[in-house]
Amino acid sequence: MNNYIIIAGVNGTGKSSLRGVLEGQNVLLGHIIDADVIAKENNFDNIKAGKKAIDEINYCLENNISFTQETTLAGHRTIRTIKQARKQGYYITMYYVGLNSMEESVERIANRVRKGGHNIPTDDVKRRFEKRITSLGEVIPLCDEVIFYDNENGFVKVAEIKNNKFQYSNGYKPDWIVKYKDTLDL
């Protein structure tokens, strides 16, 4: 069975770092589609990078290749990709990484920029942070499993959804996951 793995979270939460953690745990990620790397390779032309990322996703789907995509879940593209992958028999796993505050995301982005990385406008981060619960609610029902990580002080697995059942993973319950749990119909 092919896998479509989604590594999701608001900008600055640590999606790329979580990918490294998953690789260290020998999670098979397949072909990795990283829009940030693609943008860097294309002089930070986000439109061109976005089109190339979509081309890579389509190539994977057309050729039944397992793949991983990092996303903020801000648009509808991920939902369309999940629906197509599901039609083709892919197993859909989402790893979601969260933080308790938008300010922490913004500070992490500023730190990344100081180190030569790419910037994200604060207004975009704010909009995505405010819509994160709604975005999650739209995507989760389409996934076979969802694993939640908190990244306040290093990656801590805090919950998962399997077989439509939400379960905390340990005693650590950051505010953002408790708020999300309260919105579930599971």
Residue 171 pLDDT: 86
Residue ranges per structural domain of the chain: 3-181
Looking at the predicted structure, is the pLDDT value of residue 162 above 90? Answer: yes
Q: Which CATH architecture has domain 3-181?
A: 3-Layer(aba) Sandwich (3.40)
pTM higher than 0.75 = yes
Mean pLDDT for the stretch of residues 11-33: 91
Q: Which residues contact 109 (CB under 8 A, 6 or more apart)?
A: 11, 12, 119, 120, 125
Range in 25-34, 43-52, 74-83, 92-101 the model is least confident about: 43-52
pLDDT band at 115 (very low <50, low <70, confident <90, very high): confident
Higher pLDDT, 48 or 91: 91
Q: Which residues contact 140 (CB under 8 A, 6 or more apart)?
A: 94, 146, 161
Q: Six-digit token pair at 151? A: 């990244």
